[in-house]
Copies of this chain bind each other. A is one copy, B any other.
Amino acid sequence: MDLEAGFDAQLDKSGVGFDERDAGLLRAIDDHGSLNAAAGALGRSYSRSQRRVVELEEAFGPLVVRERGGSGGGGSTLTDGARDLLAAFERLTAEFTGVAEVEETVLDGTVVERDGELATVETPAGTVRAIVPTGSRRVRLAIRADAVTLHTPGALPDRETSARNRYRGTVSTIESGDALARVALDIGDDTRLTALVTRESIATLALSPGDEAVASFKATATRAIPAQRDATDERTDD
């Protein structure tokens, strides 16, 4: 199934959203030195672009320094605020593309104990500590492969790390890419945890299929969602 995750990032302030389109506009202004040239290069109308800049500035503060007249007729440059905003936006999109691309393993489970937003969940692979939205007993946990760290078995003292979830298993497959590798770890009861690590780590841990290994991940990095509604099938049916 070529199901691809996408998104539309947005930075909100005072009800106005700064999105990819706005980022492109600011970048073009920075590149071309004028709002007019920027709009032209983007194939957008000047009037709309100008309006949009004003709209954005009403929410985010001064973004563009305009100069009218003068040699060359004038021009526009970005303020430091605009650069900060752009940087924050790019950081956000980078994080989003990260989650959109990375693989994750899903575990179904039931909440057995809760302490605020944190809960212990019973899953086929064992008990997991995770952040769980309040008010749901049956949940589905998602663990991103880039959040799972691998260890040699027995190496990790139990009390001296903040990674609350820890599972021993046997390496089933290792798919090596350029510099990264995808490791699948069998953790009993037919569940398989995948970790994304560097090839360097594979080497230093001396991992190969069949070996024992320990996988750990933080409670704060595993997100839970309410489980399928068909489990209870509470249809309204009018």
Q: Point out residues on A near B: beta carbons under 8 Å.
A: 1-13, 17, 30-33, 37, 83, 87-88, 90-92, 94-100, 104, 106, 115-118, 129, 131, 140, 142, 144-147, 149-152, 155-157, 159-164, 177-180, 195-198, 200-201, 204-205, 216, 218-221, 223-226, 228-230, 235-238
* A162: contacting residue among B8, B118, B198, CB under 8 A: B198
**A30-B229 contact given A6-B10, A7-B8, A178-B116, CB 8 Å threshold:** yes
**A205-B162 contact given A8-B10, A155-B157, A218-B149, CB 8 Å threshold:** yes
A220 to B102, alpha carbons, bound, how many Å?
10
A28 to B223, alpha carbons, bound, how many Å?
24
* A8: contacting residue among B8, B100, B149, B151, CB under 8 A: B8
User: Within the oligomer, what is the number of copies of this chain?
Assistant: 2
- Give chain B residues whose Cβ lies under 8 Å from the Cβ of A117: 178-180
Contacting pair A92 B147 (CB below 8 A): no
4 closest A-B pairs by CB: A116-B178, A8-B8, A162-B201, A118-B179
- Give chain B residues whose Cβ lies under 8 Å from the Cβ of A198: 118, 129, 162, 164, 219-220
Contacting pair A6 B12 (CB below 8 A): yes
In the assembled complex, the CB of A12 is this many whole angstroms from the nearest CB of chain B, namely 4
